[in-house]
Structure 1
């Protein structure tokens, strides 16, 4: 009997202009000198406008147990970014979304944990809408909660609701798009990092 060979999840490495440099195993990338790489974030809403907040699994290498946006992840080499979003939504919170829209094509951040581990990502942000109920994958997500978007935004911006550093920065930019997430205009695909434009299906 032949044992299947398990391959590491790979992430796309980027230069300062967002071009692909190559790829590396995800398990080795997040260190005190994390290279710039391609990621995404997604904010999921239900038809009533509630936002799906998620709490990162306690076993995560970066920001374990921290509340954040609905879903985050990394496109695999050659994978369209939108496909990566739908894949990770299914993997992390068991959702198939009815609508997926790019809203912040050029978001970038760098954040350092107390232990020195760094996140360093070009991270396009998407909005999704679903009428389904999430089912959290405990390997990825410790808990989920539907919250009112206006209240969530206010609490993040005034500092009374702790969230991941990327979520806080994203909320600042999303708030500028308007108070109603359903009415946010789609972002310009041409503003995506070149590596993500190549992977846009």
Structure 2
């Protein structure tokens, strides 16, 4: 497998190049393309994960279901489905773009910066079985929405989770989140 590349962005969210993912996350991480995904099941529960303890950035924090970086030329839909398979062993899901304009910058305790344009996607699954990849995920648990909201007030959650929940909570429970469409996605990313 080759070196995983991230898509670098300018202030207008246009692609301006690529860089190796592993070498790009440090105290001066460049602004780049990413995504977050919240997996929901038919009972309205949300799959919440704890990042692997040896992850380079934000190890051991509780967060949404999965996140990742679309590769150069990769569509958002394809990137989300790839990470669902790779991180959680989820073979298929119905995807909805719920926060296409989300972006954030966060600094970890060790000084590592995340600086991402990070659309948020809901993935609805009919089968709630998951098979987490231990290199990515320390734990994966199905939670009620109320418990998810409580996590957003706790320091063991990721900064992007807390910021995303501030925007998702007013939309209601996860099954009620409206499809925001794709027009708000950055120019560098197709659905």
TM-score category of the 2 structures, normalised to the smaller one: over 0.9
Please say if 1:168 is aligned against 2:162.
yes
CA displacement, residues 12-43 of structure 1 (integer Å, 9 cap, x when unaligned): 00001100001000011101000000000000
The alignment of Structure 1 onto Structure 2 pairs a total of residues equal to 190
- RMSD over aligned Cα, in angstroms? 1.2
Aligned match of 2:53:
58
User: How has the CA–CA distance of structure 1 residues 113 and 98 changed in structure 2, closer, same or farther, with 3 Å as cutoff?
Assistant: closer
Q: Is the 8 A contact 1:15 1:36 kept in 2?
A: yes
Q: Is the 8 A contact 1:156 1:171 kept in 2?
A: no
SS at match of 1:188: coil
In terms of Rg, which structure is larger? 1
Distance 1:52 1:22, change over 3 A: same
- TM norm structure 1: 0.91
Does structure 1 retain, via aligned residues, the 8 Å contact 2:99–2:119?
yes
After superposing on structure 2, the runs of 4+ consecutive aligned residues of structure 1 that deviate more than 6 Å are none
TM-score normalized by structure 2? 0.96
Give CA deviations for 1:136-177 in whole Å, capped at 9, x if unaligned. 000111111111012321x134x2463100011001101121
Closer/same/farther in 2, CA of residues 169 and 131 from structure 1, 3 Å limit: same
Match of 1:191 in 2: 184
Q: Secondary structure at the match of 1:48?
A: coil
1:15/1:21 contact within 8 Å kept: yes
What are the equivalent positions in structure 2 for 1:106-185 lying under 5 Å apart?
A: 106-132=101-127, 133-153=129-149, 155-157=150-152, 159-160=153-154, 162-178=156-172, 180-185=173-178
Deviation of 1:131 (Å): 2.6
Contact 2:81/2:93 (<8 A) preserved: no
Distance 2:35 2:17 in 1: 18
Residue 74 of structure 1 deviates from its aligned partner by: 0.3
User: Could you tell me which residue of structure 2 aligns to residue 105 of structure 1?
Assistant: 100
Gaps of 5+ in 1: 1-5
